[in-house]
Amino acid sequence: MNILVLGSGGREHALAWALAKSPRTDKLYVAPGNGGTAAIAQNVSDLDALDGDAIAAFCKEHAVELVVIGPEAPLVAGVADILRAAGIAVFGPDAQGAQLEGSKTFCKEFMRRHGIPTADYLSTSDEAEAHAYIDRMGAPIVVKADGLAAGKGVVVADTVEAAHEAVTSCFDGAFGKAGATVVIEECLTGPECSLLAFVSAGRALCMATAQDHKRAYDGDKGPNTGGMGAYSPVPIVTADELASMQKVMKTAAAATAEEFDHDYRGVLYGGFMLTPAGPKVLEYNARFGDPETQVVLARLESDLVDVMMAIAEGRPDDIELAWSDKWAVTVVLASGGYPRAYEKGKVITGVDEANALPDVVVFHAGTAIDAEGRLVTAGGRVLDVTALGDTFEQARERAYQACDLIDFEGKQFRTDIGARAQHPRA
């Protein structure tokens, strides 16, 4: 069958890589794709991932039977709705379901209605009310722009002054319409853990646990990023915590069937904080995480095409998930200066040598092929160097060995990805 993946990052390369392994896959397209997807699929650089009508026309012309939507923006924009109306199978929820990510207020109210443990909060479009709430609650406190802000609309404020500045920034238009409403939350404490689930017909089929590293620098220092690395599984999660997280995901999936107009068909991403009072949900996303996807799919032994078609067609009972016992570690190689200003167009070398290492695959996050046919940087997060191992130490060693083989001007990366996995919680 012919399949189209929408998106251009490391998550989409990992999705395309996993789909390409299936014997059911004939022609694989990625729109717009990147320098890595070009090696395993046909990039469609002129197809706008937000233009549902154009995507539907492309699918009809090229006999595409399944569309996999990677990023959140097309989901929130209703691309899945248009494609389903055109009779095309889609992996990804409709616009209503995507509001779990598109509006933090919508998400918090959804959790409150269904008894899902989460941080206490205030949602308001009144700036004065927001400032008064901060004064009443104190710091640390979390300020979030309500809508999509490309991962930049969240401030964990250690002081009341910083919280006030974050609120003022939102209402002054720093995030456009996304910041017209703010959500202010209590600051939860504890390790974070991601648990994703395939969801359809009100059922959640949970994936393997993963842990992301958001801060730019070693020791969890520096500004937040889109993610500098991840590993799976997460050994610090206790059996009781895992059971609690899985129950929460199943509760959320059942709730989508109870109150949404149409079946939620896709991934539900649960971002958890392992608090002293038990796991609590920091956020839900309506798509695969990045770079968690890279380590989770590296361990998936089931045929991803079979899984995604069953979800897209509302047949969750037909899915059997199988996971490798191996560990997976991914390290992000980023452009110099990321997540702040950075330059593009730097020539990348050593990727083939890294890919030649045993149990290593390099996913491209922000790369392109230039006019001279060279692989060059084209984003802040450039490559996701992913390795499997029989032990965590082996996977981590292989990932960093591969990182050392790759070079481009300004290359930066964290040297402590997964270090937390080797130490029990305090």
- State how far the Cα of 255 lies from the Cα of 107, in Å rounded to an integer: 12
Chain segment 208-244, per-residue pLDDT in tens: 999 999 989 999 898 888 899 999 999 999 999 999 9
User: In Å, how far are 6, 23, 200, 297 from 310, measured between CA atoms?
Assistant: 19, 16, 9, 17
Only one residue has tokens 């020791």, namely 219
Region 135-155: mean pLDDT is 90
Domains defined along the chain, listed by start: 2-91 (3.40.50.20), 120-186 (3.30.1490.20), 192-318 (3.30.470.20), 327-422 (3.90.600.10)
pLDDT in the model for residue 117: 98
Report the candidate in 258, 256, 276 with the shortest Cα–Cα distance to residue 266.
256
Whether 423 has a pLDDT exceeding 80, the answer reads: no
Q: Residue 119: what are its φ and ψ, rounded to 5°?
A: -70, 145
Whether 425 has a pLDDT exceeding 70, the answer reads: no
- State how far the Cα of 236 lies from the Cα of 270, in Å rounded to an integer: 17
Region 184-199: mean pLDDT is 96
pLDDT in the model for residue 421: 78
User: In Å, how far are 118, 282, 334, 422 from 278, measured between CA atoms?
Assistant: 10, 12, 34, 22
Region 363-370: mean pLDDT is 96
Mean pLDDT of all residues belonging to the chain: 96
Chain segment 304-327, per-residue pLDDT in tens: 999 999 999 999 999 999 999 999
Whether 44 has a pLDDT exceeding 90, the answer reads: yes
pLDDT in the model for residue 153: 84
Question: pTM for this one?
Answer: 0.95
pLDDT in the model for residue 384: 98
Region 293-304: mean pLDDT is 98
pLDDT in the model for residue 144: 94
User: In Å, how far are 102, 111, 141, 362 from 133, measured between CA atoms?
Assistant: 24, 21, 10, 46
Count the alpha carbons within 13 Å of 92 in the hemisphere toward its beta carbon: 31
Sign of CA dihedral 307, 232, 330, 323: negative
Express as a percent the part of the chain with pLDDT over 90.
Answer: 93
**Going by DSSP bridges, is the β-strand pair 64-69/2-7 parallel, antiparallel, or unpaired?**
parallel
Chain segment 263-292, per-residue pLDDT in tens: 999 999 999 999 999 999 999 999 999 999
The confidence band for 426, taking pLDDT boundaries of 50, 70 and 90, is low
Report the candidate in 300, 115, 267 with the shortest Cα–Cα distance to residue 195.
267
Whether 336 has a pLDDT exceeding 80, the answer reads: yes
Region 398-418: mean pLDDT is 97
How far is C-alpha 64 from the geometric centre of its chain's CA atoms?
25
Sign of CA dihedral 34, 35, 39, 44: positive
378 CB burial (10 A radius; 0-12, 13-18, 19+): buried
**Going by DSSP bridges, is the β-strand pair 2-7/28-32 parallel, antiparallel, or unpaired?**
parallel
- State how far the Cα of 300 lies from the Cα of 261, in Å rounded to an integer: 31
DSSP string, 24-90: T---EEEEE--TTGGGTSEE-TTS-TT-HHHHHHHHHHTTEEEEEE-SHHHHHTTHHHHHHHTT-EE
Tokens of 248: 């929460």
pLDDT in the model for residue 306: 98
pLDDT in the model for residue 419: 86
Count the alpha carbons within 13 Å of 421 in the hemisphere toward its beta carbon: 25
61 CB burial (10 A radius; 0-12, 13-18, 19+): exposed
